[in-house]
Amino acid sequence: MKFDSSLFKDKNYLWLWLGQTLSVVAHRFCNIAFMWYVIETTGSSIALGLSVICFSLPAIFCLPFSGVLADKNHKKQILLVSNIINGVLILLIAYSVFIDYSMILLYALVIASSIASAFFSPALSASIPLLVDKSLLPNANSLSQMTQQLANILGPALAGILIAVTDIWVTFAISGVAFLLAVLFHSRITIRSVESTDVEGHFFQQFKDGLVHVLSSRKLIFLIIAGGVIINFFLAPITVYITFIANQILEIGSQGLGILQSSISVGALVGGLLIFTNVLKDKIKMAIFGLTIEGVALLLAGLFPGYLTMMTFFLILGLGVSLASVGITTLFQTIVPENKMGRVMSLLSTMSFVTVPLGTMLGSVLIDQISVYTVLLVSGICVALTGIALCYPFANELRTNKEKEASLSIE
């Protein structure tokens, strides 16, 4: 196990990561506080569902625009403006909650925040390859993955404590300030320019250019179908499945539910650590192996029900999610030209945003009709086959890497 500290010696990447960390934590705090405020204020599950829509739906319409904009040499400006807008909007939410203002205004502010966030993600994804050497991309992506998982684990706990010991508007205020602090870090980075896109003209021409580039590449088509559609479709309902199993079948209560859900994040943290410490380096094998063990974990969860076995399989699932996510992201960053990165990554994000609610709805309906364990079994088979199928477009690279490894072992 070898830790490569050169990633942290790059001040540009360090500032980017610190700003990203603050943004991720701020988002988690805000999401949890808003959902809690809505259910406490209205007591309505419909209002809660509307909150989820306000957080996610606007991004679907904005991501194509944000991808085109991210491919221009304005990435730093997008990061700064997005965080400033989010900071101001969340502080306005804090003030509105403090004075007990209309819920309609709160929903409008959340929608505006979702739009601002939709521009942040493609700009961030397109910036990393411009700041980090290609050999360090897996490390950089694994650090982002670990940051996200730590926020998923610690964010709800810290936000819950804050909500319990202070007024809820304070949690919103802290989130708003965190976004503005992220601006200070991102203002210090210098992102090198790339050649402007070879297609001039209005938005639709440039978006079409990015789409044509994806459709002309067998590897990109496979990666988007695997990482943006199939995996999100089958994994999106996992929280629904876990909640149903914990409450209706195992009857392990909210504490048991929390442990099962945390198992996935812990597994993802382990996966991120393995990549960050260079135990795993090959991005192609990382993606294939990650997707395959995700499927195997779901399949085993369907075959061997039980609290301890479920906890173990979801830990493995989290490990697979981390490996697949970092592997697929790194493949995109190394395959896609720098001046098309924003558009391709926004297309991936759009596909994810569309398939997640579809997968969640279908999964919720299915477990009402058939056994949840059967659903897990079938989902596992589909995901595992997707991982194995990814060998096809990368067969030449896998063969070349194997030959290189063989020659090195002989020497």
Q: Tens digit of pLDDT for each residue in 179-238? A: 999 999 999 888 877 665 554 556 666 666 767 777 778 888 888 888 778 888 888 788
Cβ-based burial of 211 (10 A; exposed 0-12, middle 13-18, buried ≥19)? middle
Res. 305 pLDDT band, cuts 50 70 90: confident
d(C-alpha 146, C-alpha 141), whole Å = 9
What single letter denotes the amino acid at residue 357?
A: P
pLDDT of residue 1: 46
Position 2 pLDDT exceeds 60 = no
**Residue pair 330/141 in contact by the 8 Å Cβ criterion:** yes
Average pLDDT over residues 163-173: 87
Share of the chain above pLDDT 90, in %: 19
Q: Tens digit of pLDDT for each residue in 85-127? A: 999 999 999 999 998 888 888 889 988 998 888 888 878 877 8
Query: Which of 301, 200, 307 lies closest to 259 in space, CA to CA?
Result: 307
Tokens 């790059």 label which residue?
Answer: 10
Domains and CATH numbers, the chain: 1-188 (1.20.1250.20), 202-411 (1.20.1250.20)
Position 41 pLDDT exceeds 60 = yes
Cβ-based burial of 127 (10 A; exposed 0-12, middle 13-18, buried ≥19)? buried
Which has the higher per-residue pLDDT, 313 or 130? 313
Average pLDDT over residues 119-142: 81
Tokens 């199928």 label which residue?
Answer: 389
Q: Tens digit of pLDDT for each residue in 289-302? A: 999 999 999 999 99
